[in-house]
Amino acid sequence: MVLTSLSPQESPSPAYICPLDQACSYLEEAARELKLDRSIIDILSNPRKVVTVSIPVKRDDGEVQVMAGHRVQHCDILGPYKGGIRYHPAVTLREVSALAMLMTWKCSLLGIPYGGAKGGIAIDPKSYSIGELERITRRYTSELIKDIGPAVDIPAPDMGTSAREMAWMMDTYSVNVGHAVPGVVTGKPLSIGGSRGREMATGRGVMIIVREALADLGKSLVGTRVAIQGFGNVGSAAALLLHQAGAKVIAVSTGMGGVFSDVGLDIPALKAYAAQNRMSIVGFPQAAAISNTELLTLACDVLIPAALENQITEDNVDRIQARIIAEAANSPVTLQANQALEARGIMVLPDILTNAGGVVVSYLEWVQGLSYVFWDEERVNRELENLMVQAYRQAIQQTKVRQISLRLAAYTLGVGRVAQAFTDRGLYP
């Protein structure tokens, strides 16, 4: 199977739901629906390249720490690899491999000429100074110098990284090749070739897909009760845009705790409060305290898990009361929980569609960087909306034609297009 050389310390505990196994299960399900040849399934089940590099870094106190950095390149049949770089203690090679595979289907589903990749380092960025993070990022980039590039593999920000890290990566790569290469990463600052609209892109995509799903049910965002787990870049952007569109965001949580208000939270004020309190929303005035666990089981119209994977599981799925679940995070609903939700008639908006706004605007940033012609935010948002709505409509049509769930419809489109490209290109040699 996939990645049989993984080290023993990455073996999951009995209660752990492996994201790679889950990703492969969805691939198998889509392949059965599409009646794909076994050889195609075997090719798509394995990443094309797995790179693990040693990163020795001098800490501020003079101590040298050696850490491992991963980059998994799943499939480039449709174009260059594309995917984020995450700094998080839970990063493993299996997790990164699963996310790289999901990125392949996501790009294919959205009609973007990219293949999937993902990278990461198992560190808590809060435990390092800015200088240490810069040294980690630059050394990691230099070790990957032969494996990335604007026509090869284009990294982007992910959990624990931001435009700052992308600027360091772009500079390190550019210095090594001898000239500025803005297209080597996306999610950069505007000053060095970033795109307007990128910071809000994933959250905007979530809002668009939720809006379209509600419209299909004869409803609008106005007055819709929404609960959001996670108030980072994605969750906070989605919350603000939904609030501005008239939705009632009744609960928000972070790893430190959450807040609830039955009449709806003042999201602009909550963002300002978080910015003043090191991104903590605990103690926000005119709101009651709520835990992550309680938030997931609130009575609401739309539940948006925008934090980590494996949040809705067999343990809590029976208590979910939302009518729609929008996966703003990657794999927040387990395979077994997803089956239970579908059986109950709860609509699940799958991650490879719902959180695709970031990679869409990353693609638009890459296009602008290659052409050296940059667009205003209105055009970026318009292009984003067109691609997101088109992908949603195609997936909904697939549910009707094949009589399948929206998740399986999204996977059949994403996997099917990649499989067709393999058939058309043939196998070398």
Separate counts of helices (H) and strands (E) for the chain: 14, 12
Q: How many beta carbons lie within 10 A of that of residue 337, not counting itself?
A: 23
63, amino acid identity: E
DSSP letter (8 states) at residue 190 = G
Stretch (H or E) spanning 95: helix 93-110
Q: Which two tokens stand for residue 2?
A: 């996939």
Give the 3-state secondary structure of residue 194.
Answer: coil
Q: 189: burial class by Cβ within 10 Å (0-12, 13-18, 19+)?
A: middle
Nearest Cα to Cα of residue 283 among 261, 252, 264, 258: 258
Cα(167)–Cα(188) distance, integer angstroms? 6
Cα(306)–Cα(232) distance, integer angstroms? 8
Nearest Cα to Cα of residue 92 among 73, 74, 117, 119: 119
What residues are annotated to the active site? 118
Q: Do 156 and 362 contact (CB within 8 A), yes or no?
A: yes
Instruction: For residue 149, list its beta bridge partners.
Output: 153
78, amino acid identity: L
Give the 3-state secondary structure of residue 247.
Answer: coil
Q: Do 84 and 155 contact (CB within 8 A), yes or no?
A: yes
